[in-house]
Structure 1
Amino acid sequence: MFEYALYLSLKAKGKEVKIDDVTCYEGPGTRPRQLDVFGITYDRASREELTEMTDASMDALSRVRRKLTGRRTKAYRERDINFDPLVMEKDPALLEGCFQSDKYFRDCEGRVREAYRFRGIESGAFPLPEDYLRLEKQIEDCQSVSVHIRRGDYLDESHGGLYTGICTEAYYKEAFARMERLVPGALFFLFSNDPEWTREHFESKNCVLVEGSTEDTGYMDLYLMSRCRHNIIANSSFSWWGAWLNENPEKKVIAPAKWLNGRECRDIYTERMIRL
């Protein structure tokens, strides 16, 4: 979603832009693309274009030239996790990175919001199950607060401990208490990839555990998050977008003060976020 928002921003500046939606979505364990739920389209980069941009042709002449003079790649990797202005200036370039900041698309925010309407749900092409329809009605009729609790891959030490120890039970308890002071009568809707753990640690009389989505239907949770009046997010782009798509002008959004261990991530935060 961050990549497509950048795509729209660059297009708005008059640039010719294409998206590589193949390279990072091949092989086992990759997440499915789910942008279809928004009913959006984009220009796709062909394998031939990617080969040309990375100077990766395997013909004999190209291989010899690379040995003699080095690779002439046009790839440019985002400098770090924060907003990199060079991303907006490089041309031609194969841009690589996460682009996780609204600074990349603030100048076309309206266009991004229009693109990220859940047209598939509205049209019935991606119908919500009955349980989710009932939850949507409940969310609309109360002081609803989405709470994203991400576990699963975030507990995996193979990431070098980037995500561990940030969104702890203490963080959520403080976030609950802060939100209850800001939003009297708050009802918390819990979204997690570990519902059993979440039920054990957080479910109470003012909490509703949302269950039923899978890796292939994560858009259902994203949709309900965006329908809540307020949001408590994890250090995750999934709940970041759930909060950003929330159109309540009075929304309160609570986020962890640290996003990644060992890295300063100042530009992931929006002006509306309360950092704990």
Structure 2
Amino acid sequence: MATAAKIVRFLVFFGAIGLTVLVWYSDTFIRVGNFHPPDMKTRESLMKTETALVTAREEKPTPRHWGSDTTQSHLQGNISMSNKFPITSPRSLDRRDLASEIKLNTLKTKTESVKTENMHEAHRSVSPDMEAALEKRSKSWINSTGLFIMTGVFGRTGNRMFEYASMYGIAKRNNMTPVLLANAEVRRVFQIPDYIPHSLPPGVKLVKFHEKKYAFYDNRTETLCKKGQSVQLLYYLQSWKYFHNVEDDLKQHFRFRKEAEFRREIKAFFDNALLELGMNNKREEVTYIGIHARNWKDLRTNTLERGYNVAPSSYYTKAMRYFENIYKNILFIVLSDDMSWCKENIQHPRIRYNPFNDPILSLALLGSCNHTIISVGTFSWWGAWLAGGDVVYYKDWPKPGTHLWWRTNHEDYFPPKWIGMSG
């Protein structure tokens, strides 16, 4: 009997401790939906996010102070200029035609191409009237329910663009207010409008919403408002379906802060490339095809085994031939994390390689092309989205049967007009 009494007291004691911890945890964050225990890196990133949330509640937002970020040199200023350039509109293409050999297509006429002096920019011209209309339209649903929504801070620029875009689209679908912290990288890189709140109001508590898989659309996000609680979205939210309802807004939000300087540097690079190739004296107009080749140089072998495979050189050759069969007077622009490999494996009489070391300027360069050939990674994805023309992607990513392959759905990750191609 004495032993049984000790066991009961032991269970009551530790049960009380567990209940106390649970109440403390729930007082700040309540877990919603399927909870996926994060790995160590994710936990560290989540801790940084929650620390930032507390700081943002206590400090006055200072959106024009960019601190000591390593990318400070290209983030200062808030330049807004008219930069409207004509672009070649996307064509409707049947993927079944690409399953076999690439067929010769009728070359586009002169009026359908882009003039050499009018290269396509990855931004739209925004007049004061347009900005006012955009703000009015957005404010019609922002703050309409008193509920707020935020994301975590995971990955690099491409990942964070997905997080912001998806949060914004989900917020509008649920009439919730999207919050982007004043010191967020996306706000520092792009011209995110100031009517997007820089911090949570004091006392707001967030519930955690965990996506089920890496690149799968989670339709539970369509009814978050029904829970009547403010939400923190976790983790990457990489599907075009989350934000297809707000693409016009996002094309304004994703204008680079240093767009005027970027435009000058990119135009000078294009003009010099055309001069070197003798293309500037020809009467035909030029079509710029951006190629992004990521070889995952920064990843370890065990990460590659998880499914992060790379596109072979044959893929780029096939994709380049595809565009040659559609457009004439092409200039290919190559960007990569492994430029030495590209110079050996991606070659063409009319090709030039990215001269810029700044990754944000490089993203602007990719987005300034008319059409895009992408490999793998979110940098490729967003460069193609910003460009807005025809897009060919490497459809054999991720490696079949791997961890990443089971957590990725191509139909959710790649927009339907983009064209999948094997190597």
Scaled by the length of structure 1, the TM-score of the pair is 0.74
1:134 lines up with 2:268 in the alignment:
yes
1:85 lines up with 2:219 in the alignment:
yes
1:7 lines up with 2:167 in the alignment:
yes
Deviation at 1:168, TM superposition (A): 1.5
Identity of aligned residues (%): 22
Going from structure 1 to structure 2, the CA distance change for 1:45 and 1:158 (only over 3 Å counts) comes to farther
Deviation at 1:188, TM superposition (A): 1.0
Deviation at 1:167, TM superposition (A): 1.2
Deviation at 1:5, TM superposition (A): 1.0
Corresponding residue for 2:113? none
Q: 2:232 aligns with which of 90, 94, 104?
A: 94
Matches of 2:203 and 2:378, distance apart in 1: 29
Which residues in structure 2 correspond to 1:27-38 (within 5 Å)? 33=185, 35-38=187-190
- SS of 1:151's partner is coil
- SS of 2:349's partner is coil
Going from structure 1 to structure 2, the CA distance change for 1:258 and 1:152 (only over 3 Å counts) comes to closer
Matches of 1:21 and 1:85, distance apart in 2: 29
Matches of 1:242 and 1:197, distance apart in 2: 21
- SS of 2:384's partner is helix
More deviation in 174-183 or 86-95?
86-95
Going from structure 1 to structure 2, the CA distance change for 1:232 and 1:45 (only over 3 Å counts) comes to same
**Residues 170 and 221 in structure 2, CA contact (< 8 A), matched pair in contact too:** no
- SS of 1:79's partner is coil
More deviation in 189-198 or 164-173?
164-173
Scaled by the length of structure 2, the TM-score of the pair is 0.50
Corresponding residue for 2:362? 221
**Residues 8 and 111 in structure 1, CA contact (< 8 A), matched pair in contact too:** no
Which residues in structure 2 correspond to 1:112-131 (within 5 Å)? 112-122=250-260, 127-128=261-262
- SS of 1:132's partner is helix
1:274 lines up with 2:413 in the alignment:
no
1:265 lines up with 2:409 in the alignment:
yes
Corresponding residue for 1:242? 383
Q: 2:178 aligns with which of 5, 8, 17?
A: 17
- SS of 1:212's partner is coil
Corresponding residue for 1:76? 209
Larger-gyration structure (1/2): 2
Q: 2:338 aligns with which of 189, 194, 211?
A: 194
- SS of 1:179's partner is helix
More deviation in 226-235 or 150-159?
150-159
> Paired residues, what number?
236
- SS of 1:242's partner is helix
Runs of 4+ deviating beyond 6 Å: none
Amino acid at match of 1:128: F
| Gapped regions of structure 1 (runs ≥ 5) | 26-32, 54-73
Matches of 1:17 and 1:147, distance apart in 2: 33
**Residues 136 and 224 in structure 1, CA contact (< 8 A), matched pair in contact too:** no
